Amino acid sequence: MTVQTVDHFFNPASKEFIDNPVPTLEKLSSEYPISRFDAWQSWLVTGHENIIKCLLDTRLSTDFNLWEFAPDKKPVAEMDPFEKLMNNNLFFLDRKNHLRLRKLALPAFSPRIMEQMKERFKVLVQERFNEIGTPASFNFAAEIAEIIPTQAIASLVGIPREKFPIFDSLAYGVVRGINPMLTPEERKDAIKGVPKGLELLNELIDERRANPGDDFLSTLILAEDEGSKLSNLEMCALVGAVLGAGSDTAVDLHSYLIKNLLQNPNEFDALKGDETLVQGAISETLRYESSGKTGLARYASEDLEINGYHVKQGQMVQLITSTAGMDPKIYENPSLFDIRRDHDKSISFGQGPHYCIGVTLVRSQTEVMLKELFKRFPNLSLGNEIVYDYNHHNARRMDVMMVNTNL
């Protein structure tokens, strides 16, 4: 089959795309279901059905080292702390090691542990809103969305409140350091807080080993499968993976959830009248407006075909998951924001063996934030300023989203 390229119109780093990606994504999905994007040296896959097939195809791996352009892997002895962390990251492991780590980690993300954490999340959220006070307006993106997700993960791990700044530096390093577009100097600056953050994590892990309790870290420490247990480095890497996916995803989810609710006042009013719709609103936000500029990267472990297109071993395949939520074959009136919509076929948190391990964490902290927001500011409305970070490496990140409290 003739391979079509999309470089002539698809530029997810452009201001036009970041401001409004819908026209580009609709064109991509309807006219180029499988295509090549030379700027990324990658295949692009769109549409719900095509993406599901790829997510379930074990020949498409998350192991970055399979990529034809991957740099030679350093010996572990030559890796810096950040590189060692990424070398053990759940999202970049080969299938065998991914399944092992995931199996050992799952008990720490159980509903019981997450329910315990809800009370801690409530305290954190209340403290944050107390600090904001009762202004006429405030920057929701910077004062809520950027802060609460990382603090929620710090609380989950058991970081003492006074050491949150150290954990914040670790989070910044993990999220920023994976940006392949950084210069060596920029990367060095981004990850400078990683060693101290890892030192803090190792101290906590050692404390829990000596005195295990009924908490997240203790559950990881005590997890065992056929004699296999998690090492300190693997636990640190797991926390890094949660930071990379959980905090970064939740930052954008918080902002886009509020943006879309306030732009659809009937849905906002319905939600205030029935809080059982909160999880539906979260799912609909993830479907309706993706914050991503990229997709989910997979790497061919062998030659294969996707809908008749030959993908060679080592080639990258980017799954443009935002197009799945716009697929009219799956969602009726996909351009309508409807918090009562059925999301049984959602792939917002992945599918198959890579289904997001921290989905309950993200949903719980977002629900707690939203309910407290309603309580404090029942008449909230969208302000007149939204400013995007046009240089963010993988997200349509909002630096500024002003809201009016109307108290």
Predicted confidence (pLDDT) per residue in 96-154, tens digit: 888 898 899 999 988 888 888 888 899 999 999 999 999 999 999 999 999 999 999 99
Domain 15-404, architecture per CATH = Orthogonal Bundle (1.10)
Q: pLDDT tens digits, residue range 13-36? A: 999 999 999 999 999 999 999 999
User: According to the model, what pLDDT value does residue 96 have?
Assistant: 83
Q: Do strands 137-139 and 398-404 pair parallel, antiparallel, or not at all (unpaired)?
A: antiparallel
Q: Do strands 316-319 and 42-45 pair parallel, antiparallel, or not at all (unpaired)?
A: parallel
Residue 187: is its pLDDT beyond 90?
A: no
Residue 68: is its pLDDT beyond 90?
A: yes
Residue range 52-65: mean pLDDT, rounded: 92
Residue 244: is its pLDDT beyond 80?
A: no
User: According to the model, what pLDDT value does residue 90 have?
Assistant: 75
| Structural domain boundaries in the chain | 15-404
User: According to the model, what pLDDT value does residue 117 have?
Assistant: 87
Full-prediction pTM beyond 0.85?
yes
Residue range 225-233: mean pLDDT, rounded: 91
**Phi, psi angles (nearest 5°) of residue 83:** -65, -35
Confidence of residue 178 (pLDDT cuts 50, 70, 90): confident
User: According to the model, what pLDDT value does residue 180 have?
Assistant: 66
352, 272, 368: which is closest to 319 by C-alpha? 352
Averaged confidence pLDDT in the chain: 91
Helices (H), 243-358: 248-263, 265-273, 278-288
Q: pLDDT tens digits, residue range 380-399? A: 999 999 999 998 878 899 99
Residue range 91-99: mean pLDDT, rounded: 79
Per the listing, tokens 């307006």 go with 137
